[in-house]
Amino acid sequence: MNIKINGTTWKIQEVSMADPQLLVNGHRCWGTAFYHDRKISIDKTIPDKAGKRITLLHELSHAFLHEHLLKEQETYTEEELCEFVSRYATQIVEIANKYDKISL
């Protein structure tokens, strides 16, 4: 599924557990968001819909942080996190809802 974040196209895909896209610093992850190729990968073997949805929401948050130039920081204050949620949570959830309808 292709989505737009701040005018940039990203691809959401489900991949096998063994896919190298799910390895980050030698650790296997349930999902990843790679900024250089604008791709979110989710482990298709996650056993339940809720787990996949939480993983997708998490990876979408990384993508939104990157596309809105908020990824520069290592840490965020409570106020910055609340501002991020107030601005982008609705969009992130809407994308996850669309993905649920076609994929999960």
pLDDT of residue 85: 93
Mapping DSSP to helix (H, G, I), strand (E, B) and coil, where does residue 2 land?
Answer: strand
The pLDDT tens digits for 24-56 are 999 999 999 999 999 999 999 999 999 999 999
Q: Does residue 101 have a pLDDT over 70? A: yes
* Ranges of each domain in the chain: 2-102
User: Beta-strand (E) ranges in 1-104?
Assistant: 2-5, 8-15, 23-24, 27-28, 31-34, 39-43
74 by Cβ neighbours in 10 Å (0-12 / 13-18 / 19+) ranks as exposed
Residue listed under structure tokens 């990824």: 71
Q: Which of 50, 57, 43 is nearest to 96 (CA)?
A: 57
pTM: 0.90
Query: Mean of the pLDDT values across residues 63-77?
Result: 81
- Strand 27-28 relative to strand 23-24, pairing: antiparallel
- CA distance linking residue 32 with residue 30, whole number of Å: 7
